[in-house]
């Protein structure tokens, strides 16, 4: 849990795992893809993309999580309901290089500077040349795509602060992020409203806290080395309209919406009780 205004680390448990646990970001990465797609002009809020559950690509079939499909959705709704098809389409319009460029702008693939020595930098995919790899990259999946809980908390703080979260206390100049590469305030607002909607009636409903507006995004990527298993992520911030804290929850062999989001709810309830 980070304080959005100062970047201060408020809580990390267990500290070593927050810095060293690695997993694919899964659908949390849709925030990066959405930001890139809006900023690079390959989509806009008014554009809707239809999900019919399956996305044929290069003689392969890629799938969405909802059988029967999500129907027509704009990018805000697609974030809230975590529609894979929407983000496959955006990822292919962006291409590998722009997806990786925006990953770096969000600080992925390098250490945050928060933790004791031994922090993992994670890794960006080194192989995403085939269109199927690019589409999977856009939803946060890839053979060598790894992020840490600290990186995910920082990503949440970046969105919460609309890119003003530039440096970390004591981390020095090298750790600065996002020197205003996002030009449009409306880009941040789309991401934030999509995260708000995710908690109100999307995949992150179990992070809802009575009397506190929460914004969030879940992810349940295939587990590295064992694609039949999943890992669970939740990233988010609160209060949604005036963010004070940003959090990331990672549960190995868990599910984002069912396992990570309820932990986020407990953390935010505790934080609310201490305000
Ligand atoms: Zn869908």
CA 234 to ligand 1 center in whole angstroms = 19
CA 73 to ligand 1 center in whole angstroms = 9
Judged against a pLDDT cut of 50, whether residue 174 lies above it is answered with no
Judged against a pLDDT cut of 50, whether residue 200 lies above it is answered with yes
Query: Which one has a higher pLDDT value, 189 or 182?
Result: 189
Q: What is the DSSP letter of 221?
A: P
Give the E-state strand segments of the chain in sequence order: 2-3, 49-51, 54-57, 60-63, 71-73, 215-219, 222-223, 226-230, 232-238, 245-251
Domain that holds residue 154: 2-274
Residue 253 sits in a domain whose CATH number is: 3.40.710.10
Q: What's the pTM value of the predicted model, to 2 decimals?
A: 0.95
CA 50 to ligand 1 center in whole angstroms = 8
Helix, strand, coil share (%) of the chain residues, nearest 5: 40, 20, 40
CA 4 to ligand 1 center in whole angstroms = 31
Provide, rounded to the nearest whole percent, the portion of the chain with pLDDT above 70: 93
Q: How far apart are CA 52 and CA 195, in angstroms?
A: 23
CA 5 to ligand 1 center in whole angstroms = 35
CA 210 to ligand 1 center in whole angstroms = 29
CA 62 to ligand 1 center in whole angstroms = 11
Cα–Cα distances (Å) from 78 to 4, 83, 114, 126, 154, in that order, read: 26, 5, 32, 27, 22
Spatial neighbors of 53 by CB under 8 A, at least 6 apart, are 63, 64, 66, 67, 68, 69, 85
- The H-or-E segment that residue 186 falls in is helix 185-201
Average pLDDT over residues 102-122: 86
Number of folded domains in the chain?
A: 1
Lowest mean pLDDT among 40-44, 114-118, 256-260: 114-118
- pLDDT tens-digit profile of 59-90? 999 999 999 999 999 999 999 999 999 999 99
Phi and psi for 215 in degrees, rounded to 5? -115, 140
CA 23 to ligand 1 center in whole angstroms = 23
Residue with tokens 């109100």: 200
CA 183 to ligand 1 center in whole angstroms = 29
Judged against a pLDDT cut of 90, whether residue 118 lies above it is answered with no
CA 180 to ligand 1 center in whole angstroms = 31
Reduced to 3 states (helix: H, G, I; strand: E, B; else coil), residue 71 is: strand
CA 200 to ligand 1 center in whole angstroms = 18
């Amino acid at each position: 849990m980070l304080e959005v205004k100062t970047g201060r680390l408020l809580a990390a448990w267990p500290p070593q795992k927050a810095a060293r646990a690695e997993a694919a970001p899964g659908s949390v990465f849709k925030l990066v893809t959405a930001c890139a797609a809006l900023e690079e002009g390959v989509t806009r809020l008014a554009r809707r993309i239809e999900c019919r559950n399956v996305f044929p690509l290069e003689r392969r079939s890629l799938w969405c999580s909802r059988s029967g499909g999500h129907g027509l959705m704009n990018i805000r709704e697609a974030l809230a309901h975590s529609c894979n098809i929407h983000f496959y389409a955006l990822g292919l319009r962006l291409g590998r290089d722009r997806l990786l460029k925006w990953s770096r702008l969000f600080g992925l693939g390098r250490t945050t500077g928060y933790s004791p020595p031994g922090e993992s930098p994670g890794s960006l995919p080194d192989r995403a040349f085939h269109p199927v790899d690019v589409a999977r990259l856009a939803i946060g999946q890839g053979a060598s795509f790894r992020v840490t809980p600290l990186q995910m908390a920082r990503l949440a703080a970046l969105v919460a602060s609309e890119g003003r979260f530039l440096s970390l206390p004591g981390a020095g100049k090298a750790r600065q992020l996002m020197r205003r590469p996002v030009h449009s305030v409306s880009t941040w607002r789309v991401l934030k409203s999509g995260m708000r909607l995710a908690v109100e009636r999307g995949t992150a409903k179990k992070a809802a806290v009575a009397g506190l507006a929460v914004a969030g995004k879940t992810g349940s990527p295939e587990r590295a080395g064992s694609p039949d298993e999943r890992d669970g992520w939740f990233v988010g911030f609160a209060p949604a309209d005036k963010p004070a804290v940003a959090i990331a929850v990672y549960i190995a062999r868990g599910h984002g919406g069912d396992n990570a989001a309820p932990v986020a709810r407990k953390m935010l309830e505790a934080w609310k009780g201490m305000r």
